[in-house]
């Protein structure tokens, strides 16, 4: 899941591309979680990274898809083929009401249950 939150003006400037918000991903994959744990052990509070595909393109489900689309010069952390091949949900929590920008494995109903409030939808 990706959660969009407001950020303090002096925090995460490079990762935010000048925007007042920041997108935080909550990975489920054990390799991604292990990488984040190693970062935390090294005193690194987080990890900034781009998406593994170009905007508007189909999300990759294997490491070879990433290097095929973005180029072989990249370093790609290969955790194996994706289990589901479904994009993550994107929830904008930067306003008064959470907004589901893109549905994913986590449904709007599940979000409402977890958050205890109404979640709006775009479109």
Over residues 24-70, the pLDDT tens digits come to: 887 888 998 999 999 999 998 888 877 777 777 777 888 888 888 88
What CATH architecture applies to the domain 2-121?
A: Alpha-Beta Complex (3.90)
Query: Quick one: pLDDT at residue 107?
Result: 87
Confidence class of residue 73 from pLDDT cuts 50, 70 and 90?
A: low
The pair of structure tokens assigned to 54 is: 């170009």
Question: What DSSP element (H or E) covers 96?
Answer: none
C-alpha count within 13 angstroms, C-beta hemisphere, residue 26: 10
Q: For 87, list phi and psi in degrees, rounded to 5.
A: -60, 155
Q: Is a pLDDT exceeding 80 seen at residue 102?
A: yes
Mean pLDDT value across the chain: 86
**Distances in whole angstroms, Cα of residue 64 to Cα of each of 31, 40, 52, 61, 72:** 17, 28, 11, 9, 9
Q: How confident is the model at residue 123 (pLDDT cuts 50, 70, 90)?
A: low
Give phi and psi for 105, each to the nearest 5: -60, -40
Note the residue count of the chain.
123
- Distance, CA of 13 to CA of 16 (rounded, Å): 5
């Amino acid at each position: 899941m990706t959660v969009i939150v407001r950020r303090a003006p002096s925090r995460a400037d490079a990762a935010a591309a000048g925007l007042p918000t920041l997108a935080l991903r909550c990975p489920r994959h054990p390799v991604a979680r292990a990488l984040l744990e190693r970062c935390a052990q090294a005193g690194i509070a987080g990890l900034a990274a781009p998406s593994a595909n170009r905007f508007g393109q189909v999300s990759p489900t294997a490491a070879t898809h990433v290097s095929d689309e973005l180029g072989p010069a990249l370093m790609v952390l290969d955790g194996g083929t994706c289990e589901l091949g479904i994009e993550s949900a994107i929830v904008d929590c930067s306003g008064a009401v959470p907004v589901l920008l893109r549905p994913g494995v986590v449904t709007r109903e599940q979000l409402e249950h977890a958050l205890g409030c109404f979640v709006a939808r775009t479109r």
